[in-house]
Structure 1
Amino acid sequence: MDIRRRIMRLRRLATLLDAAFVVPGTHFRWGLDTLIGLLPVAGTLVMALPSLYIIWEAHRMNVPGRLLVRMIGNVAVELLADFVPVLGDLVDTVYKANLRNIALLEDHFGMTVDGTARETTPPR
């Protein structure tokens, strides 16, 4: 599977986790991470698995180690915040670590949000 298709598949997963639902009458989005994260401890651990899967896929795409460290850091922010009641749920809803990680991958591979290659023209 080519990189573009892999990243688009990971973007669909990240959107489901971080921004699948809209609060009616607003532009505010939330996902399964917020919903399942409401379960104390177990919700945090369950939702860490798809986040780590996204990082594993990035590793399989041979992204540089520094990028993997940034991605791990994004997930760590949410995981650590999740151990504080209420604050963790708020951080899950606002921070959106999975979408941040997809944006890092897209930037690294020169893609736009829709999965197409970003136009790059050499400077004159």
Structure 2
Amino acid sequence: MPISQEQFAQIAKDIPGMGNDPQAVRMRVEALEKLLERAFYVPGTKIPFGLDSIIGLVPVLGDLITAAMGAYMVWEARNLGMSKWQLIRMTANVGIDTAIGAIPIVGDAFDLVWRSNTKNLRIIKKHLDKHHPGTRIIEG
């Protein structure tokens, strides 16, 4: 039995993190940043890494995939109404990560150090804290 567009919209709205409101956007970009940058730890250390470093090991295709995931964060920021300057900074972060990440071996090491998605998350959080203070989460 198919559901109507309105029913689908209501279901999506009720699922945490699926709406277009600033709180849902914050939840999505925080989850994506954690997955891409800090989902795992180098065994025996406290050095975090994520799918950005793992997928980036696949030449060319891996870097394109992680660039697309980083571009999604920029798209979410644009939907929040962030300034062109902020969007340019975020795009530059993804571009630098993609360009240097594409270099064999050096790029893979660079992915562990240059965390473009973490930098972009900071820019988004700063915007949200200023323009949508209700989305602020107390981190412990």
- Please give the TM-score of this superposition, normalised by the length of structure 2: 0.76
Structure 1 gap ranges (5+): 119-124
Structure 2 gap ranges (5+): 1-18
Q: Deviation of residue 117 (structure 1)?
A: 5.9
- Please give the TM-score of this superposition, normalised by the length of structure 1: 0.85
Percent of aligned positions that are identical: 35
User: What is the alpha-carbon distance in structure 2 between the residues aligned to residue 65 and residue 85 of structure 1?
Assistant: 32
CA contact (8 A) 1:55 1:71 kept: yes
Q: Which residue of 2 aligns with 1:77?
A: 96
CA contact (8 A) 1:55 1:72 kept: yes
Look up the SS of the partner of 1:109 in the other structure: helix
Q: Which has the higher contact order (CA 8 A, sep 6+)?
A: 1
Q: Would you tell me which structure has more helix in proportion to its own residues?
A: 2
Q: Deviation of residue 83 (structure 1)?
A: 2.3
Q: Which residue of 1 aligns with 2:106?
A: 87
Q: Deviation of residue 73 (structure 1)?
A: 0.8
The structure number with the bigger radius of gyration is: 2
Q: Which amino acid aligns with 2:112?
A: T
Look up the SS of the partner of 1:40 in the other structure: coil
Q: Which amino acid aligns with 1:23?
A: V
Question: Pick from 59, 75, 93: which aligns with 2:78?
Answer: 59
The yes-or-no answer on 1:35 pairing with 2:54 is yes
CA contact (8 A) 1:110 1:117 kept: no
Runs of 4+ aligned structure 1 residues displaced above 4 Å come to: none
The RMSD of aligned alpha carbons is 1.6
| Cα deviation digits, residues 2-22 of structure 1 (max 9, x gap) | 212311221111110111001
User: What is the alpha-carbon distance in structure 1 between the residues aligned to residue 61 and residue 26 of structure 2?
Assistant: 28
User: What is the alpha-carbon distance in structure 2 between the residues aligned to residue 117 and residue 35 of structure 1?
Assistant: 29
Matched pairs, number: 115
CA contact (8 A) 2:53 2:108 kept: yes
